[in-house]
Amino acid sequence: MAQREADFVIVGAGSAGCALAYRLSEDGKNTVIVIEHGGSDFGPLIQMPSALSIPMNMSLYDWGFRTEPEPHLGNRVLATPRGKVIGGSSSINGMVYVRGHARDFDHWAEQGAVGWAYADVLPYYKRMEHSHGGEEGWRGTDGPLHVRRGQLFNPLYRAFVEAGKQAGFETTEDYNGSKQEGFGWMEQTIHMGRRWSAANAYLRPALRRPNVSLLKGMARRVVIENHRATGVEIQVGTEIQVVKAKREVVLAASSINSPKLLMLSGIGPAAHLAEHGIDMVADRPGVGQNLQDHLELYIQQEATQPVTLHSVLNPFSKALIGARWLVWGDGLGATNHFEAAAFVRSKAGVDYPDIQYHFLPAAMRYDGKSAAKSHGFQAHVGPMRSKSRGSITLRSAEPAMPPVIRFNYMSHRDDWADFRHSIRLTREIFGQEAFAPYRGKEISPGSHVQTDEELDDFIREHVESAYHPCGTCRMGRADDRHAVVDPECRVIGVDGLRVADSSIFPRVTNGNLNAPSIMTGEKASDHILGKTPLPPSNQEPWINPRWRESDR
């Protein structure tokens, strides 16, 4: 067996893993090996922002996970894409940048993730960001991760924000600043016309250092001796190798693969490990549990003016857009087309937003598979805090086998009421005066779908994952039986092993998960190095003074 060795061995070159590699190697004192099963992110399919739906459908870049039949969605099987490429899911995602709401992190701290309240994580968001146009004093301006606004060339973006205002909702200048609530401009991890993934922001600069190396291979299990992680067993081609960790092993392999690796290594629910003949190292019943996600629907409206992206969906226009992007790095190829957004509250008594909107000046599926036959626009809408919980379990003790993914989507009755409200609210927004010059008939669900039962049928048939899985190695107090890692990301019951990715989130945050995943890597690196965390912030986020009385 070939052996390699470093102070820190990181499994997964995704959003958190890239940040970890950059920070753990920064002072030059520690050696770092990053293990990644996927290959290069080179080429226009990943780097050109408007090509975002393509890599997600390619087995070269995506693990290709699928859920088990979902019992509350008519036994539909849903895709669960995860990046299998350097940069991980930040190389195949929609490039939408959302920190999460202050209250999300305060909730984490209340659930036992002490030291992860908003005051504690805000300094790490500032450290990681290079914000172009964000709210002064609330945003970082010299971090590795470039964040920008869209160009707003399409008049429908402004119509969406204006319609929100006309419906009585707040507007916000920066939903990643002091005030998340309201309609405003969406932020993108795009820089100089390119996808600014964690690989571009963090991993490439780290790999220029002599103390960092990237190793291509599939992690099979963590090697544990006397309750201490000493390395990672990987498969390279047909050969099994062990990569040794002198100090620590850090799993940053995703909310799907991190719990799977823990279980394959003997850390997980005792009975489940015994079923698969795996020797138990630590009985942690929470491993693989607490799986959460965001679901969304596309509410689509026909456009009466030819201002949407429909006119450029033909092969000739796509070729021109691609050529312009390759030569100048600008034009329609340099945006993800998500340039307007909203975070709103569903009802009086909800103190911070629980519904998210992505607005798109086209009527098409997120994965690019089917576009409407005419000019149209759409809002992706979904509740932020579903009460449904699922699990990741082993299909087999064979590491190459994908795990069993059960989200139990829509298993809580409140989720149905939340979605019905989201549909009706979207219709109200599309019905405002701002959309009058552009509004044709409703394409989806269609104006004939009105009753609760009809809406429920539509939801059951058409709801899609927003691809934000998390929570499967929940962070909490060391004495919490169902916590998997403590607030310093250490796996409870095993020395020298940490998990630092979206799997440690106690509860899913508002919005897209790329930003909080990177922040997790940033903050975990200070815990791993034994540094004093950055001083907490004393900035107070905006909470709607009318939250008890009204949804707007």
Annotated binding site for FAD: 85, 93-96
Nearest in space to 149 (alpha carbons), one of 309, 339, 328, 337: 339
Radius of gyration of the chain (CA): 23
Which residue shows structure tokens 């990672």? 232
Annotated binding residues? 85, 93-96
Whether the CB-CB separation of 379 and 160 falls below 8 Å is answered with yes
Whether the CB-CB separation of 19 and 204 falls below 8 Å is answered with no
CA distance 81 to 62: 6
Nearest in space to 184 (alpha carbons), one of 376, 332, 9, 340: 340
Q: What are phi and psi of 37, to 5 degrees?
A: -75, -30
CA distance 109 to 409: 26
Catalytic residue list contains 130? no
Name the packing angle between helices 155-166 and 413-430 (round to 10°): 110
CA distance 257 to 64: 12
Whether the CB-CB separation of 253 and 11 falls below 8 Å is answered with yes
Q: b/e string for 512-529 if b means 16 or more Cβ within 10 A? A: bbbbbbbbbbbbbbbbbe
CA 453, 356, 56, 301: dihedral to nearest 10 degrees?
A: 60
Which pairs count as long-range contacts for 271-278, CB under 8 Å and 24+ apart, including other chains? 272/393, 272/394, 276/394, 276/396, 276/397, 277/397, 278/394, 278/397
Helix, strand, coil tally for the chain in percent (to 5): 30, 25, 45
Strand ranges in 119-265 using DSSP code E only, listed in sequence order: 129-131, 145-149, 182-185, 187-188, 190-191, 194-195, 212-216, 218-225, 228-236, 239-251
Whether the CB-CB separation of 166 and 434 falls below 8 Å is answered with yes
Question: Which of the following is catalytic: 72, 146, 337, 468?
Answer: 468
Active site residues: 468
